[in-house]
Structure 1
Amino acid sequence: MLNIGKLDRRITIERETETVKPSGSVVKVWTPVATVWSEVLQQSASEFFTGFGEAETGTMIFRVRYLPGIKTADRVAYDGQHYGLKEIKTLGRRDALELRGEALR
């Protein structure tokens, strides 16, 4: 269940779109889909092994009211940082979404 009182952080969900300039060139830009209140459940740094050694990634879990159409191709903007969505879970009977994101560099 979603505790509405804990939705105390503002996040923006963004989607990559293509825009055509007057010159005819195509530019990809991130466009806001929704700005919503969120609960930040977890903020951690997890280490994992890559082909070149150890690396560190910042992961965040955001819990928001249910929004249809959110995809893992979208990203979340929060506190000056962007997070690529790795997993989206529907909580309850479409009561809420849990968005798991990884910090983008």
Structure 2
Amino acid sequence: MRSGRLTEEITIERATVTVDPDGTPVQSWVHLATLRAEKVEQSTTEYIRNFGASDEEVIVFRARFFDGITNADRVVWNDDPFNIKSVAPVGRRKGVEMRCVRMPE
């Protein structure tokens, strides 16, 4: 993995549940790591669903290995949240490839 290709800065966030003063559980996102990454692929696909047409933006990021990233986490890139669909190691703990889908607003 060449460091010159790691041109994007991404943030990995993890969902946590806290209880507010009224006793209601509230989900929030906590910063896990900030990584330099390479944007390998970016595409948009249109789907016809029950509620009509919708677009799905898919981005694949490749970064240096960071232990503990799961599908339950999310990536924030350019202030836009992306849901992690799959995490695949690259080599022997050399890097990690994350396939992400833009989260609905």
TM-score (norm 2): 0.89
Q: List alignment gaps of at least 5 residues for structure 1.
A: none
Give 1:20's aligned amino acid.
V
Q: List alignment gaps of at least 5 residues for structure 2.
A: none
Aligned to 2:42: 43
String of CA shifts for 1:30-63, please: whole Å, max 9, x gaps. Answer: 1111011111111110233434554320000111
Residue 4 of structure 2 is aligned to residue 5 of structure 1: yes
TM-score (norm 1): 0.89
Aligned to 2:54: 55
Aligned to 2:64: 65
Q: Provide the alpha-carbon RMSD of the alignment.
A: 1.4
Which stretch has the larger CA shift, 21-30 or 33-42? Answer: 21-30
- TM-aligned CA deviation for residue 23 of structure 1: 3.6
Aligned to 2:103: 104
- What is the distance in 1 between the residues matched to 2:102 and 2:23? 33
Question: Percent sequence identity over matched residues?
Answer: 36
Aligned to 2:74: 75
Cα–Cα, structure 1 residues 24 and 55, in superposed 2: closer, same or farther, change >3 Å? closer
- What is the distance in 2 between the residues matched to 1:55 and 1:23? 37
| Structure 1 outlier segments of 4+, above 6 Å | none
Aligned to 2:87: 88
Alignment of 1:26-41 (within 5 A): 26-41=25-40
